């Protein structure tokens, strides 16, 4: 009996070899970062969920490879009332993935659901440019009062508070996508699951193994199904970038969601052709708690701290080139906007150091009496490395004694919001749509996401003026002036701008890097063989 | 016997009750909530979410509500995975964790047992020293180092096995994670068994057996092994609960949809119900496995059979 | 019980103890012999530079340009300190708990052991994470907490031993001489548990060091710029392909220390439990 064990083991091993991945039908396997929290377009918030939503559903518009809004479920739109009224014309014969007709009312209902506070939508404020949207999400009006109407079965009309030239971009965001009302009525919050979820995208949900994979299959009822190449798209979640990379290298993934920073140089050398790095709409920064002395009261001190951070070194050595040095708040590449930067951006380091030392001394600090600050960040290896280097730069150039404190993410966020314990904190902002206001709004005094607590009436006034300005050039000018005010006051220190970074196998066709890092499954295909 | 089993079962209920209570309030003592994110929610929406999940009620009422659900066999909705019930999530993750855990347990017992026996037969011999050192190494190297090394070697270097993923029933997917999960246990079992077997082989009744001229193999397997297995079993009982409920490291490195990640992810995401669900599962397993250990004790050593 | 005699009688125990002493000395005084500080970033030099025997960085540099030799030794200080504190806490709690329960017996024993049972059924990982989240700022507090969770085994073993000791004549004699229970536990029971405690200390220490390293894996470990072996091994594991030295040196120290501690525990057990051999 015991003698036979080795032979059995050998047989088992053989079996294992035979079971190695054999591609049955063409499926694109995409590494997708953390497990999505939901596939309900109005309830989701993570990048990984939004990625899948763009394949499962379709909005009135989509984002083209050049970053501009293109017609999607709508075949076109007219703008009237001085830029305040948009009328979208739907494509004829649109259907849900179960074959039922898809009408203008479905889109209007999706938007009403988004702003309804009972939905609990994280992106509820995305469309606050629509008349009554703000009031509804604050509970001061009923969802039916939203200024979105279905004009017959194939026209959607939207009335805006002020001209909003980027509305077509906003409508490419999954939060504005339609949800199938019968499924919603029947299953409530639990509708977004295989067998229940009905969408209108190029693919429909076939399988969802939590922490395993989400597999989509071609939707034959999609209007553009003829030009959809892939039969299946599989989104594979991973909490561990290094593990994802290993699966990519072993040929188990065709696209990776990320690249481990420390391995960037090796990957560049070995897999250079497969590496896709592109400007991305995201800003990594340190915020000051503007409600606590001494940093709140001393702009010179904030300026000094900002000046001595060697961003080029951080990008080159800590980020291994996978970022862009940031000297402004709004990332480069935003449509119709000239990027602003701090006045000392072009200064050589020596001049910056001299000026920073002068400011530091002027604020009353000396080597014997150094500034002592706490720098908080949420637990993550990359944040740790940057904080370590920044603290060392402050120490070596100015003599600042910065204590690093890492906190588990939820604790960190809660404290950052309270603005009691924090002094300097790590933060990041990823733009929701391609417009400077997606960034500038964050620093507005009444914005709930402004964790610095900075309030500048003039800044807020400039934003308000821009929001009602019809002329694009003048609007851009107002926004730029607001950004310059923020950069003079420096409630935040910009450190770097994100880049999107993927590994894409050479046989994946149709991949085009873009500012929002949107990649629609319907545009992609696998080269034969 | 049946009365004994029933008594054990009943005595487990208060243990689990205290456990759930402890975990419930510990979890709530942690700052931050399930809906805190980088993207702060507007207050009205936060309030709507809190109301939907009854987070706006006083804590004691939430606690009673949870206990009420438990009594009906409902572990509640997950906070993190929208639209999923905790029961469903655990049921979906259990097969992967169970098969991995069982595989690792078996491997630990077979491989660890074999090493332990080999070492014990010639204590302080060359083989014992080499294997003993290897076993010590097995417990001394963290598995977040071993697991990626296995992937690098067998998946990327040699290309024999997948680097990750989980297709139910696929042996190839199981092999590396099972080994990674089992390695420290193999080492532990080997050391435990070696020690107890050496002791057993020196016992008077074994000496008697030797004097009777029985072959060495019979002596080891018939006489010495049974009592020597006792400490191994009392170690493996609780260890099995750990193996079955999975390992974050192994699941993360091999991309496996198992339970282990929930212990960490759910706690970090403040997914209160999911945390309680896995804690309860673990506690139940511990109680059940301790019962199994007692039964095995009885089977291996009649003197320890419950009266 | 003569510790020195046991030590000298067992060559392997002696060798392991000496080797551990060497590691300790290296970790304690080593950093003084290096021109670098633990948290010093060499902005001008190469980051992730390979080790060189002749050059400045004997173990190379880490991914932030810090000298790995110094960091490995500094990390050792912290890992060992953490291990020591947690072990002491877990031994103190475990022995006190077990000895009291075992000596008093009856209902108190049942209740106390019931508490141990409940805590056993609590997933350790969950408990540690919650503690880390609650006490995120105070490293030592965390390890006191870990020690306070890790005492369960010790309590069980101490109780078992006490049950046996209770029957012995000297305890009865002490009782007759009018000592109260606490005094008897303190003067007669606990000292007789010393051998056991030593073995458990040697077994617990490596466990706690591994727990610390696992916390580093989760990102919940020590606060930069301080470091520990666990944190270093984690950083190194991320770079195992591009900069293997950043894994090998700290992992080598960690593994060697754990190995030595395990050998010591094993030999001590052999020596103390079977004095005849």
Model pLDDT for residues A277-295, shown as the tens digit of each residue: 999 999 999 999 999 888 8
CATH number of C2-29+71-273: 1.10.3720.10
Question: Which of C126, C150, C217 to mutate against chain B (most B CBs within 10 Å)?
Answer: C126
Tokens of C194: 């010393």
What pLDDT is recorded for position A2?
41
C68 reaches B (C-beta below 8 A): no
Between residues 330 and 389 of chain A, which touch chain B (CB distance below 8 Å)? none
C-alpha count within 13 angstroms, C-beta hemisphere, residue A106: 27
Question: Which of B255, B262, B268, B272 to mutate against chain A (most A CBs within 10 Å)?
Answer: B255
What pLDDT is recorded for position C275?
46
**Residue A236, H or E segment:** strand A232-236
The answer, yes or no, to whether residue A416 has pLDDT greater than 50, is: yes
What pLDDT is recorded for position A5?
46
Reduced to 3 states (helix: H, G, I; strand: E, B; else coil), residue A375 is strand
Q: pLDDT tens-digit profile of C14-49?
A: 888 899 999 999 888 888 887 788 888 888 777 877
Tell me which of A10 and C133 has the higher pLDDT: C133
Nearest CA in chain C to B247: C125
Cα diameter, chain C: 75
**Cβ pair C188, C182 in contact under 8 A:** no
Summary mean pLDDT of chain A:
90
Between residues 17 and 46 of chain A, which touch chain B (CB distance below 8 Å)? 17, 19-21, 35, 37-38, 40, 43, 45
What pLDDT is recorded for position C136?
64
pLDDT above 70: percentage of residues in chain A: 95
Q: pLDDT tens-digit profile of A60-89?
A: 999 988 888 999 999 999 999 888 999 999
Q: How far apart are CA B203 and CA B224, in angstroms?
A: 8
pLDDT grade for A402, boundaries at 50, 70 and 90 = very high
What pLDDT is recorded for position B1?
66
pLDDT grade for A4, boundaries at 50, 70 and 90 = very low
Residues 6+ apart with CB under 8 A from C38: C31, C66, C70, C71, C74, C225, C226, C227
Instruction: Tell me whether strands A424-430 and A401-407 are parallel, antiparallel or unpaired.
Output: unpaired
What pLDDT is recorded for position C169?
78
Determine whether B38 is exposed, middle or buried from the number of CB atoms within 10 Å of its CB (0-12, 13-18, 19+).
middle
A411 reaches C (C-beta below 8 A): yes
The answer, yes or no, to whether residue C7 has pLDDT greater than 90, is: no
What is the mean predicted confidence (pLDDT) over C243-263?
89
**Residue B45, H or E segment:** helix B43-52
Contact B163 A409 (CB under 8 A): no
A239 reaches C (C-beta below 8 A): no
Reduced to 3 states (helix: H, G, I; strand: E, B; else coil), residue A492 is strand
Q: How far apart are CA A181 and CA A197, in angstroms?
A: 10
Closest CA to B161 of C78, A85, A491, A246: A246
What is the mean predicted confidence (pLDDT) over A471-490?
93
Q: pLDDT tens-digit profile of C40-98?
A: 888 877 787 788 776 677 788 888 888 888 899 888 998 898 888 888 888 888 888 88
Domains in chain B with CATH codes: 100-268 (1.10.3720.10)
What pLDDT is recorded for position C2?
58
C213 reaches B (C-beta below 8 A): yes
Indicate the range of A101-110, A445-454, B78-87, B230-239 predicted with least confidence. B230-239
**Which chains lie within 8 Å of chain C at 3 or more CB pairs, if any?**
A, B
pLDDT grade for A527, boundaries at 50, 70 and 90 = confident
> How is chain C split into domains, by residue range?
2-29+71-273
Q: pLDDT tens-digit profile of C159-176?
A: 888 887 877 778 778 878
Indicate the range of A108-117, B28-37, C23-32, C178-187 predicted with least confidence. C178-187
Nearest CA in chain A to B34: A410
Chain C residues touching B141 at Cβ < 8 A: 251, 255
Contact B136 C237 (CB under 8 A): no
What is the mean predicted confidence (pLDDT) over C210-239?
84
Give the ranges where chain C is alpha helix by DSSP (H): 3-9, 11-29, 68-104, 106-120, 124-134, 139-149, 152-166, 169-176, 181-184, 190-192, 194-217, 229-238, 245-273
User: Which of A14-18, A254-258, C116-120 has the highest mean predicted lDDT (pLDDT)?
Assistant: A254-258
Tell me which of B125 and A32 has the higher pLDDT: A32
Closest CA to A219 of A422, A58, A402: A58
Contact B32 A410 (CB under 8 A): yes
What pLDDT is recorded for position A7?
53
Q: How far apart are CA C149 and CA C204, in angstroms?
A: 12
Nearest CA in chain A to B50: A120
Please work out, in degrees rounded to the nearest 5, the angle formed at the alpha carbon of residue A351 by the alpha carbons of A346 and A355: 110
What is the mean predicted confidence (pLDDT) over A151-174?
92
This complex has an ipTM of 0.87
Residue A111: left (phi > 0), alpha (psi -120 to 50), or beta? alpha
Question: Which of C47, C63, C220 to mutate against chain A (most A CBs within 10 Å)?
Answer: C63
pLDDT grade for C184, boundaries at 50, 70 and 90 = confident
**Which chains lie within 8 Å of chain B at 3 or more CB pairs, if any?**
A, C
Contact C125 B278 (CB under 8 A): no
The pTM of the whole model exceeds 0.80: yes
Could you state, in chain order, the average pLDDT of each consecutive group of 10 residues for chain B (307 residues)?
76 86 89 81 85 89 92 89 89 90 92 89 82 83 87 87 83 88 89 84 80 79 80 84 84 88 85 91 87 81 58
Question: What is the least distance, in Å, from the CA of C243 to any CA of chain B?
Answer: 14
Closest CA to B66 of B107, B20, B122: B20
Q: How far apart are CA B30 and CA B132, in angstroms?
A: 43
What pLDDT is recorded for position A442?
92
What pLDDT is recorded for position C119?
84
Q: How far apart are CA C13 and CA C262, in angstroms?
A: 10
User: Which of A38-52, B135-149, B291-305, C185-199 has the highest mean predicted lDDT (pLDDT)?
Assistant: A38-52
The answer, yes or no, to whether residue A273 has pLDDT greater than 60, is: yes
pLDDT grade for A22, boundaries at 50, 70 and 90 = very low
The answer, yes or no, to whether residue A192 has pLDDT greater than 80, is: yes
User: Which of A442-451, C49-58, C117-126, C156-165 has the highest mean predicted lDDT (pLDDT)?
Assistant: A442-451
Nearest CA in chain B to A427: B38
What pLDDT is recorded for position A512?
92
What pLDDT is recorded for position B140?
83
Indicate the range of A264-273, C76-85, C212-221 predicted with least confidence. C212-221
The answer, yes or no, to whether residue A20 has pLDDT greater than 60, is: no
What is the mean predicted confidence (pLDDT) over A490-497?
95
pLDDT above 90: percentage of residues in chain C: 4
What pLDDT is recorded for position A3?
44
The answer, yes or no, to whether residue A26 has pLDDT greater than 70, is: yes
The answer, yes or no, to whether residue A338 has pLDDT greater than 60, is: yes
Q: pLDDT tens-digit profile of C239-250?
A: 888 888 888 899
- Owner of token pair 């930067």: A341
């Amino acid at each position: 009996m015991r003698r036979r064990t080795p032979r059995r083991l050998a047989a088992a091993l053989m079996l294992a070899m035979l079971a190695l991945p054999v591609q049955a039908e063409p499926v694109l396997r995409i590494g997708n970062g953390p497990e999505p929290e939901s596939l309900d377009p109005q309830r989701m918030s993570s990048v990984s969920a939004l990625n899948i939503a763009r394949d499962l559903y379709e909005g009135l518009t989509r984002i083209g490879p050049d970053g501009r809004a293109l017609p999607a479920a709508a075949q076109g739109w007219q703008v009237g009332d001085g830029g305040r009224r948009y009328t979208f014309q739907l494509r004829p014969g649109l259907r849900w993935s179960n074959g039922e007709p898809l009408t203008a009312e479905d889109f209007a209902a999706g938007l009403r659901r988004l702003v309804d506070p009972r939905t609990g939508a994280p992106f509820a404020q995305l469309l606050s440019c629509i008349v009554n949207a703000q009031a509804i999400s604050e509970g001061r009006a009923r969802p039916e009062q939203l200024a979105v109407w279905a004009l017959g079965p194939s026209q959607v009309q939207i009335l805006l508070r002020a001209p909003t030239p980027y509305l077509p971009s906003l409508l490419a965001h999954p939060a504005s996508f339609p949800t199938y009302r019968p499924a919603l009525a029947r299953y409530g919050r639990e509708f977004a699951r295989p067998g229940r979820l009905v969408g209108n995208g190029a693919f429909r949900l076939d399988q969802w193994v939590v922490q395993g994979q989400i597999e989509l299959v071609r939707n034959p009822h999609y209007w553009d199904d003829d030009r959809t190449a892939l039969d299946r798209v599989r989104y594979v979640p991973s909490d561990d970038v290094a593990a994802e990379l290993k699966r990519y290298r072993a040929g188990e993934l065709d696209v990776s969601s990320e690249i481990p920073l420390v391995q960037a140089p090796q990957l560049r050398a070995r897999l250079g052709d497969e590496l896709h790095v592109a400007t991305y709409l995201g800003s990594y920064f340190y915020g000051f708690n503007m409600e606590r002395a001494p940093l709140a009261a001393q702009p010179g001190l904030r300026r000094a701290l900002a000046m001595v951070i060697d961003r080029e070194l951080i990008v080159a050595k800590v980020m291994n080139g996978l970022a862009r040095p940031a000297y402004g708040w709004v990332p480069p590449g935003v449509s119709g906007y000239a990027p602003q930067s701090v006045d000392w951006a072009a200064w050589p380091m020596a001049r910056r150091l001299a000026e920073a030392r002068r400011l530091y001394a002027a604020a009353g600090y000396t080597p014997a009496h150094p500034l002592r600050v706490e720098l908080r960040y949420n637990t993550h290896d990359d944040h740790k490395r940057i904080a370590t280097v920044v603290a060392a730069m402050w120490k070596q150039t100015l003599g600042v004694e910065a204590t690093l404190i890492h906190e588990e993410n939820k604790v960190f966020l809660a404290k950052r919001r309270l603005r009691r314990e924090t002094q300097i904190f790590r933060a990041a902002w990823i733009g929701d749509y391609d417009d400077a206001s997606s960034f500038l709004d964050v620093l507005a005094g009444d914005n709930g996401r402004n964790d610095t607590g900075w309030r500048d009436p003039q800044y807020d006034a400039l934003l308000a003026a821009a929001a009602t300005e019809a002329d694009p050039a003048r609007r851009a000018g107002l926004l730029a002036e607001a950004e310059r005010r923020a950069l003079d006051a420096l409630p935040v220190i910009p450190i770097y701008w994100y880049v999107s970074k993927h590994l894409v196998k050479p046989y994946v066709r149709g991949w085009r890097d873009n500012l929002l890092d949107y990649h629609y499954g319907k545009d992609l295909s696998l080269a034969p063989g | 016997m049946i009365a004994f089993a029933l008594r054990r079962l009943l005595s487990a209920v208060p243990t689990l009750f205290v456990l759930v209570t402890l975990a419930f309030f510990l979890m709530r003592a942690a700052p931050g909530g399930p809906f805190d994110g980088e993207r702060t929610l507007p207050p009205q929406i936060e309030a709507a979410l809190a109301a939907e999940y009854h987070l706006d009620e006083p804590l004691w009422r939430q606690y009673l509500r949870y206990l009420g659900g438990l009594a009906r066999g409902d572990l509640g909705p997950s906070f993190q995975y929208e639209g999923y019930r905790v029961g469903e999530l655990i049921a979906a993750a259990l097969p992967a964790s169970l098969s991995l855990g069982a595989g690792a347990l078996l491997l630990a017992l077979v491989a660890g047992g074999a090493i332990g026996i080999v070492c014990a037969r010639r204590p302080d011999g060359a083989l014992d020293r080499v294997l003993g050192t290897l076993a010590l190494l097995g417990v001394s190297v963290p598995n977040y180092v071993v697991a990626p090394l296995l992937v690098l070697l067998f998946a990327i270097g040699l290309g024999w096995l997948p680097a990750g993923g989980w297709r139910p029933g696929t042996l190839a997917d199981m092999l590396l994670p099972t080994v990674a999960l089992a390695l420290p246990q193999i080492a532990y079992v080997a050391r435990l068994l070696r020690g107890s077997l050496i002791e057993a082989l020196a016992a008077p009744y074994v000496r008697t057996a030797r004097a009777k001229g029985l072959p060495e193999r019979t002596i080891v397997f018939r006489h010495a092994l049974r009592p020597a297995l006792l400490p191994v079993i009392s170690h493996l009982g609780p260890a099995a609960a750990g193996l079955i409920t999975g390992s974050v490291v192994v699941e993360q490195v091999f991309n496996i949809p198992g339970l282990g990640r929930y212990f960490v992810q759910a706690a970090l995401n403040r997914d209160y119900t999911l945390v309680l669900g896995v804690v309860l599962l673990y506690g139940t397993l511990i109680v059940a496995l301790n019962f199994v250990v007692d039964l095995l004790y009885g089977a291996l050593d009649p003197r320890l059979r419950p009266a | 019980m003569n510790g020195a005699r046991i030590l000298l009688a067992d060559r392997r125990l002696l060798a392991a103890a000496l080797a551990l002493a060497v590691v300790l000395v290296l970790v304690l005084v080593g950093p003084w012999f290096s021109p670098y500080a633990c948290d010093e970033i060499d902005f001008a030099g190469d980051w992730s530079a390979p080790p060189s025997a002749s050059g400045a960085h004997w173990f190379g540099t880490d991914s932030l340009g810090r000298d790995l030799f110094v960091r490995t030794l500094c990390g050792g200080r912290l890992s060992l300190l953490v291990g020591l504190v947690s072990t002491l806490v877990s031994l103190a709690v475990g022995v006190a708990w077990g000895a009291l329960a075992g000596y008093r017996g009856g209902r108190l024993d049942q209740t106390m052991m019931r508490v141990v049972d409940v805590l056993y059924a609590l997933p350790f990982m969950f408990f540690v994470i919650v503690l880390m989240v609650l006490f995120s700022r105070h490293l030592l507090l965390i390890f006191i907490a870990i020690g306070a969770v890790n005492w369960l085994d010790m309590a069980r073993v101490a109780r078992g031993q006490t049950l046996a000791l209770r029957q012995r004549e000297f305890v009865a004699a002490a009782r007759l001489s009018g000592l109260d229970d606490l005094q008897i536990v303190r003067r007669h029971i606990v000292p007789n548990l010393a051998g056991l405690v030593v073995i458990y200390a040697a077994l617990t220490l490596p466990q706690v060091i591994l727990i610390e390293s696992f916390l580093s894996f989760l990102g919940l470990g020590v606060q930069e710029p301080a470091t520990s072996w666990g944190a270093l091994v984690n950083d190194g594991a991320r770079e195992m392909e591009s900069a293997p030295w950043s894994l090998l040196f700290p992992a080598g120290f960690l593994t060697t220390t754990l190995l030595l501690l395990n050998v010591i525990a094993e030999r001590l057990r052999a020596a103390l439990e079977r004095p005849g051999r």
